[in-house]
Structure 1
Amino acid sequence: MTAPTDRPTFDLDAVAAIDVHTHAEVSRDGHGSLSPALFGASEEYFKAHGHRQPTIDEMADYYRERSMLAVVFTVDAEHATGWPRISNTEIAEDCARHGDVLLPFASIDPHKGRAAVAEARRLVTEHGVRGFKFHPSIQGFAPNDPMAYPLYEAIEELGAVALFHTGQTGIGAGVPGGGGIRLAYSNPMLVDDVAVDFPTMKIILAHPSFPWQDEALAIATHKPTVHIDLSGWSPKYFPPQLVRYANSLLQDKVLFGSDFPVIKPDRWMADFDRLEIKPEVRPKILKDNAARLLGLTG
């Protein structure tokens, strides 16, 4: 089974950057992707008090004004949280209306078993979804749990991308018991097992992986299909070893991501401009690596 052939094409010369990590936080009818308690904890963590949850139409306008493309996804954590997700189909349809600027990803709770596999196949073949977001800590599973393997098998076969949250999360921070969210599930070493068992599946380790940054760098260096996105942190706080590897061994595997809307590309870009990144590496991080990984280059 292959991806649809009617996906939009892009004039990459006119694209300033590709943001591989943005969140659809609210549905058409105003339903949030997470409970108010977890959203509130995230706002406090990012010092983004009272930030608006933009619609996908508003996201498209924002990125279009900046000549950027953006990957858009939600988080499906119904099993662990009991909170109804935003529809992946709705997100894909709304992104399709803005196909000049938005690239749909999906999120499927791997606890859904065969239903998850069927949904993944439908979303890629019928709706042009290019990848899948996993947040192991919120979804309550270890990435190397065989429970999730049938879903990975479908993603690998479809040629889609698997993006895993790694490291600490602001979601649940400060809530008693962290809202039941276990940080250990987002240790990138658990994704190393996935990269071994699914050697052709394209993988993104999302975020500077505090407190496991060195582990993430080791995995991305060792496993050919594993990449790192730089979302969730202002570049001025990047660990020095991350900057060093991005400038050298991993210059073809590091990707711009913001974590919009809690961190906006304007702020991220301003701080990235001050980072000591080689001139020849900057366009790779901002656009070229993502364009190749997402299949936008021909």
Structure 2
Amino acid sequence: MVIDIHTHIFPPKLAPHAIKALENSAGAHAFLNGTKEDLIKSMSENGIDISVNMPVASRADQVHSINNYSIEVNNQGDTTGLYSFGACHPLNPDMKDELKRLKSAGIKGIKIHPDFQGLYLDDETVVRIMEYAAELGLIILIHCGMDPSFPDVHRSTPKRLAGILPRLNGAKIIAAHMGGYEYMDDVEDCLVGKDVYIDTSFTIGKFDEKQILRILQNHNPDKILFGTDSPWDDQKNALKLFKELPISDELKEKILWKNSKNLLEIL
């Protein structure tokens, strides 16, 4: 079994525009067209049983409409294998009610992307909404490290996350991109061994393998999750590179699906 904890899709009418805009801003290449159908096809072709969509609200007024689609996708997950988290923008004045709506709808967690939202991860507004999400039992996936769309401003670093973890004691936090894209030294210094999940999205094959292996081997083996960041990475290649890592089969199995299964409680 394989669970991809970190993917992205868009509503069908928005997908072409969203993919083109993000390709231009990040200088990136999308491997899929951004629709749920294309992601489900990729999953089927590459032996990925479950994927989780991580929607991003770059504006506070987008949250409700994005989450309408997230709930629709999530409700079909038992059939399609594609589930969804909800979008969270800390500046949305109705965000607490929106979090309660997500929880009631069966959504397991939320995605926060400080760079797209123009907020630092340790801003009081951000921390308070994460505290409330944690009270509801929602998982919180945070973009960590550099984002190619914002190469000069890094609002969500491992050090900032480490600084607020004591306030989020007991919360289910996932630090995306191995804890910090292009911040692997700080990940080792600040996050490895802490009470935080990390996912592997958009890192394996892109950073020093010896350092990646140290992080995987020194962090809590129950708190590492396989992710790809599809469509911004190719699910087939990301899975191949992960399986080729010289780590134990037991650890691979935990990362590929067991840890996500236990966290998501969906199987």
TM-score grouping bracket, smaller chain normalisation: 0.7 to 0.9
- Which residue in 1 is equivalent to 2:247? 277
Partner of 2:140, secondary structure, is: strand
- Which residue in 2 is equivalent to 1:232? 202
Give the residue type in structure 2 aligned to 1:138: F
Deviations 1:61-85 (A, max 9, x none): 3324524211112110115xx9889
- Which residue in 2 is equivalent to 1:258? 228
Q: Which of 83, 103, 114 pairs up with 1:103?
A: 83
Q: Which of 116, 124, 127 pairs up with 1:138?
A: 116
Give identity over the alignment, percent. Answer: 25
Deviations 1:43-76 (A, max 9, x none): x24xx26x54232233233324524211112110
Rounded Cα–Cα distance in structure 1 between residues aligned with 2:182 and 2:55: 24
Partner of 2:133, secondary structure, is: helix
Q: Cα distance, 1:228 vs. partner?
A: 0.8
Q: Which of 57, 73, 77 pairs up with 2:37?
A: 57
Tell me the TM-score normalized by structure 2. Answer: 0.87
Q: 1:236 to 1:110 in 2, by over 3 A?
A: closer
Q: Which of 188, 210, 213 pairs up with 1:217?
A: 188
Gaps of 5+ in 1: 1-15
Give the residue type in structure 1 aligned to 2:205: P
Partner of 2:222, secondary structure, is: coil
Partner of 1:99, secondary structure, is: helix
- Whether the 8 Å CA contact 1:220–1:227 is kept in 2: the answer is no
Q: 1:54 to 1:35 in 2, by over 3 A?
A: closer
Rounded Cα–Cα distance in structure 2 between residues aligned with 1:238 and 1:291: 28
- Whether the 8 Å CA contact 2:201–2:228 is kept in 1: the answer is yes
Q: Is 1:28 matched with 2:6? A: no
Rounded Cα–Cα distance in structure 1 between residues aligned with 2:225 and 2:87: 20
Q: Cα distance, 1:215 vs. partner?
A: 2.5
- Whether the 8 Å CA contact 1:188–1:212 is kept in 2: the answer is yes
Gaps of 5+ in 2: none
Q: 1:153 to 1:83 in 2, by over 3 A?
A: closer
- Whether the 8 Å CA contact 1:133–1:163 is kept in 2: the answer is yes
Count of residues in correspondence between the two structures: 264
Rounded Cα–Cα distance in structure 1 between residues aligned with 2:16 and 2:99: 22
Q: Cα distance, 1:27 vs. partner?
A: 1.4
Rounded Cα–Cα distance in structure 2 between residues aligned with 1:134 and 1:249: 23
- Whether the 8 Å CA contact 1:137–1:186 is kept in 2: the answer is yes
Q: 1:240 to 1:118 in 2, by over 3 A?
A: same
- Whether the 8 Å CA contact 1:161–1:204 is kept in 2: the answer is yes
Rounded Cα–Cα distance in structure 2 between residues aligned with 1:36 and 1:85: 23
Q: 1:193 to 1:18 in 2, by over 3 A?
A: same
Deviations 1:131-159 (A, max 9, x none): 11111111111111111233213211121
- Bigger Cα displacement from structure 2, 228-237 vs 83-92: 83-92
Structural RMSD (CA): 2.6
Q: Is 1:196 matched with 2:196? A: no
Tell me the TM-score normalized by structure 1. Answer: 0.79
- Whether the 8 Å CA contact 1:220–1:250 is kept in 2: the answer is no
Q: Is 1:243 matched with 2:200? A: no
Give the residue type in structure 2 aligned to 1:118: D
- Which residue in 1 is equivalent to 2:58? 77
- Bigger Cα displacement from structure 2, 143-152 vs 162-171: 143-152
Give the residue type in structure 1 aligned to 2:8: H
Q: 1:57 to 1:124 in 2, by over 3 A?
A: farther
Q: Cα distance, 1:221 vs. partner?
A: 3.5
Rounded Cα–Cα distance in structure 1 between residues aligned with 2:128 and 2:16: 28
Partner of 1:111, secondary structure, is: coil
Rounded Cα–Cα distance in structure 2 between residues aligned with 1:84 and 1:149: 18
